[in-house]
């Protein structure tokens, strides 16, 4: 089995609140869409949707938290430094 791990810098920059909302909002919405589809597929296959429903709730909370941050930064005229790293490793 491959034991390598990989790291990628996905986001690293300073953004206006609107730019940060576009970048991070699109990522969170993509994850919400994915888990919504998974929930539907799981439900059809097994009737069990707990894992995807829990993740969806977590993502919706994240989206609300981010919205509050963006609104606050916009009101104060602040820029936002956003960094995001992706780590990938093989697991058994």
Domain annotation covers residue 9 = no
Domain annotation covers residue 24 = yes
pLDDT digits (tens, 9 = 90+) for 34-66: 988 887 776 656 656 677 788 899 999 999 999
Average pLDDT over residues 56-84: 97
Average pLDDT over residues 63-79: 98
- What is the chain's alpha carbon radius of gyration, rounded to the nearest angstrom? 17
* 8 Å CB contact between 85 and 5: no
Domain annotation covers residue 86 = no
Domain annotation covers residue 76 = yes
Domain annotation covers residue 85 = no
Residue 47 is predicted with a pLDDT of: 59
Interatomic CA distance for residues 53 and 35, integer angstroms? 8
pLDDT band at 92 (very low <50, low <70, confident <90, very high): confident
Domain annotation covers residue 34 = yes
Domain annotation covers residue 3 = no
Domain annotation covers residue 35 = yes
pTM of the model: 0.81
Residue 74: which domain range?
Answer: 20-80
Domain count, the chain: 1
Ramachandran area for residue 47 (φ above 0: left; ψ -120 to 50: alpha; else beta): left
């Amino acid at each position: 089995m491959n034991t390598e791990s990989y790291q990628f810098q996905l986001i690293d920059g300073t953004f206006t609140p609107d730019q940060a909302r576009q970048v991070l909002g699109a990522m969170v919405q993509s994850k919400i869409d994915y888990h919504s589809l998974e929930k539907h597929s799981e439900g059809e296959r097994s009737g069990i949707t707990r894992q995807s429903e829990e993740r969806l709730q977590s993502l919706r909370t994240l989206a609300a938290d981010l919205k509050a941050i963006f609104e606050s930064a916009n009101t104060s005229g602040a820029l936002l430094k956003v960094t995001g790293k992706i780590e990938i490793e093989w697991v058994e």
